[in-house]
Amino acid sequence: MNRRNILAGASVAVLGAALNPKAAQAAPLCIASPMAAPTWALLQRELLRANTEACEAFYARYFDERGYFLCFERWGANDGPDDAIENVNGWPLLHAMGAPDRLKAMYTQAWEGHLRQYTEARTVEVEIARQGMFYKEFNVQLDWQHHAEEMTLFNVQGLSDPDSPRLRDRARRFAGLYMGEDPDAPNYDPQHRVIRSLMNGSRGPMLRKATALDWAGDRFDPTGFFMEHGEETYEETLQHYEEYTDVVGDHPLNLLSTSLALNAYMLEQEPKYRQWLLTYIDAWAERARANDDILPSNVGLDGVIGSAADGKWWGGAYGWGFSPVNPVTGKREDRNRVPRTAMGFFNAYLLTGDDKYLQTWRAQADRINAQRRTVDGKIQTPTMYGENGWYGWRDGLHIANSLDIWWFSMKESDRRRAPDHPWVAYLEGRNPDWVETALRADLARVAEAARKQREDTTTPDTRLADGVMDQNPAQVMALMHQTMGAIHIARPSWAGAGSANVGGSPLYARLRYFDPDARRAGLPPDTAALIDRMTADETGVTVVNLSQTRTRTVTVQGGGYGEHRIKDVRIGDARHAVNDSAFTLSLAPGSGARLVLGMERYVNQPTLTFPWRR
């Protein structure tokens, strides 16, 4: 092997084509420079271990041998099927970062069990679900706030299991529900580029006024159950949804369905999935431009803004003007969900790197911030719009999704628009203590969730699907930030008001890792990685092997799905060419190094295929 020294005690082998399996195996970049075990690396490995152990205890308590979640099964937006599978949110991400295969076995069994459980579960009063809450393994009819939450596991399952025949079949079938490919689910109108209702699914769109029963599910006595919204009677549950009637026509929440097409595209890069996704996103971008840069919350079946809501662009359930009464408090609450839907545009950016998909959201923020007022010396901006104009005033400028937009663009102008964040401060050299602090905080959260589980006295017949979601011990955010430079669009979001707050996100990451010896996703055993700098064209990352006896080999990929090209790797003053989406490191026992990767971002089409299979 042809080697040359680049650091004292370190050596490098000449890389071949990094994604050629033979070249990658024959000529890894060899690191032999000793590195004392960093505290952050030990904490990362401990957090993976603690997460896994706590998830095992959680699974043993709340799931049966079929993978069914042990609860009182119900239909609806409050405590329905989506909440049941949300109890294992984060588990696929843990595995994709290096947690043991037994974690993958558990969440896979939970997903398979979930699909069977809610295909078997039926309603009595709600007509659409009388033959099963799922049909063709997909929710029969609900809104995409809840569909997206249900798809949180599935939309990242391919990170670790891209060759699964079941996953591949489902990815195509689920995407087809929104592309006009399934006659049982005429959700999409290609002529007008609309998904025809806020309420949609495997049995098609709801093309009538929704009722409270459609949303709340069959009658039951909530006494003794945890009720997230505080209802004490079934009547209050119905009252919660009395104003959720206007669902006909398209709504920005349907943008979240684009993650299904993205998943299907990343299997084999079939053009139809990419084309549909971009066509649908472009339609919404055009609507925003035609509506003074504001995404309308209703587009009629004829493709006209507001035509299914009496001409009101702000109309419809979960729209800009949606402030229904909360029966528990008797007060109106603002429930505009449009700001949560940027993920669709982020998916388009992942495919294209085209700044126009971020510009739609910048322009909307500018329009909202142009309405600002000053009250008692504080700037306020609106969150809602109705018959009398803007309302729902909150302190500060409108910053929804602004940190996400900066993360994608890496433009200084976007950074100035976004709030500060401890992780971002660390990347900018202003918060050196964040790394260990964040890991220890997540370890404490794992312990707290495990404590809650031990003290939980609920039984399956007194537990709704969302009753123990706060006991799910999986803590992924610090690991995602540190190892992959990834954002975490989830509930809760990674940056509060500065980021989307919704489920169902794909992985948006600067780097990702694979174990070529075990032929699996994630950092190999004993290894850890810490990204300390990200710019538009560079990434600084330290990779370390904590084992004192075993060499570890790790493949480093640009982007969550290989969408970034790694031009070169620098260690100290030495530069090594890569010019591909991945390269392989061989880490000698007890060794480590800081690497600076020169990168071209969003120049490759994303793929789920592992590097050695491409």
pLDDT digits (tens, 9 = 90+) for 370-419: 999 999 999 999 999 999 999 999 999 999 999 999 999 999 999 999 99
- For 22, counting Cβ atoms within 10 Å of its Cβ (0-12 exposed, 13-18 middle, 19+ buried), the class is exposed
Span 10-21, mean pLDDT? 38
pLDDT above 80 (res 176) = yes
**pTM across the whole model:** 0.95
For the chain, give the mean pLDDT.
Answer: 94
- For 444, counting Cβ atoms within 10 Å of its Cβ (0-12 exposed, 13-18 middle, 19+ buried), the class is exposed
Strands (DSSP E) found in 368-508: 373-375, 378-381, 384-386, 389-391, 394-395
| Token pair 């109890």 in the structure block, residue | 87
Query: DSSP label at 338?
Result: G
Which helix H or strand E contains 185, and what residues bound it? none
Q: Quick one: how many helices (H) and strands (E) in the chain?
A: 19, 23
Q: How confident is the model at residue 11 (pLDDT cuts 50, 70, 90)?
A: very low
Structure tokens at 343: 């993920």
Q: How confident is the model at residue 3 (pLDDT cuts 50, 70, 90)?
A: very low
Least confident of 234-248, 481-495, 544-558: 481-495
pLDDT above 70 (res 202) = yes
pLDDT of residue 499: 78
**Distance between CA atoms of residues 136 and 202, nearest Å:** 7
Chain CA centroid to CA 220, Å: 33
**Distance between CA atoms of residues 48 and 443, nearest Å:** 9
Least confident of 216-230, 272-286, 313-327, 431-445: 216-230
pLDDT of residue 26: 40
In this structure, the number of other CB atoms found within 10 A of the CB of residue 352 comes to 16
Residues in Cβ contact with 299 at an 8 Å cutoff, skipping those fewer than 6 apart: 194, 249, 250, 251, 287, 305, 306, 307, 308
pLDDT of residue 497: 72
What are 304-318's pLDDT values in tens digits?
999 999 999 999 999
**Distance between CA atoms of residues 507 and 343, nearest Å:** 11
pLDDT of residue 500: 75
What are 327-344's pLDDT values in tens digits?
999 999 999 999 999 999
The CATH number of the structural domain formed by 3-33+511-613 is: 2.60.40.1180
Q: What is the DSSP string of 34-101?
A: B----HHHHHHHHHHHHHHHHHHHHHHHHB-TTS-B-S----STTTSHHHHHGGGTTHHHHHHHT--H
In this structure, the number of other CB atoms found within 10 A of the CB of residue 105 comes to 12
pLDDT above 90 (res 23) = no
Taking only Cα atoms into account, the Rg of the chain, rounded to an integer number of angstroms, comes to 24
Span 503-525, mean pLDDT? 98
- Which residues are registered as beta bridge partners of 305? 299
Q: How confident is the model at residue 498 (pLDDT cuts 50, 70, 90)?
A: confident
Residue 92, CB-side half-sphere exposure with 13 Å CA sphere = 25
Type of residue numbered 21:
P
- Which residues are registered as beta bridge partners of 374? 379
- For 263, counting Cβ atoms within 10 Å of its Cβ (0-12 exposed, 13-18 middle, 19+ buried), the class is buried
**Distance between CA atoms of residues 578 and 574, nearest Å:** 13
Q: How confident is the model at residue 116 (pLDDT cuts 50, 70, 90)?
A: very high
For the chain, the 3-state helix, strand and coil shares in percent, each to the nearest 5, are 35, 20, 45
Residues in Cβ contact with 504 at an 8 Å cutoff, skipping those fewer than 6 apart: 147, 148, 149, 150, 151, 152, 155, 256, 259, 343
In this structure, the number of other CB atoms found within 10 A of the CB of residue 395 comes to 10
Type of residue numbered 335:
R
What are 244-263's pLDDT values in tens digits?
999 999 999 999 999 999 99
**Distance between CA atoms of residues 218 and 213, nearest Å:** 7
pLDDT of residue 77: 94
Cis peptide before 324 (omega within 30 of 0): no
Span 536-559, mean pLDDT? 98
Structural contact between residues 578 and 534, judged by C-beta atoms closer than 8 angstroms: no
pLDDT above 70 (res 271) = yes
Q: How confident is the model at residue 491 (pLDDT cuts 50, 70, 90)?
A: confident
Q: How confident is the model at residue 494 (pLDDT cuts 50, 70, 90)?
A: confident
Structural contact between residues 418 and 403, judged by C-beta atoms closer than 8 angstroms: yes
Residues in Cβ contact with 283 at an 8 Å cutoff, skipping those fewer than 6 apart: 193, 194
Q: 606 by DSSP, 3-state: which?
A: coil
Q: If DSSP states are collapsed to H, E and C, what string results for 511-562?
A: EEEEECCCCEECCCCCEEEEEEEECCCEEEEEEEECCCCCCEEEEEEECCCC
14 or 537, higher pLDDT: 537
What are 452-474's pLDDT values in tens digits?
999 999 999 999 999 999 999 99
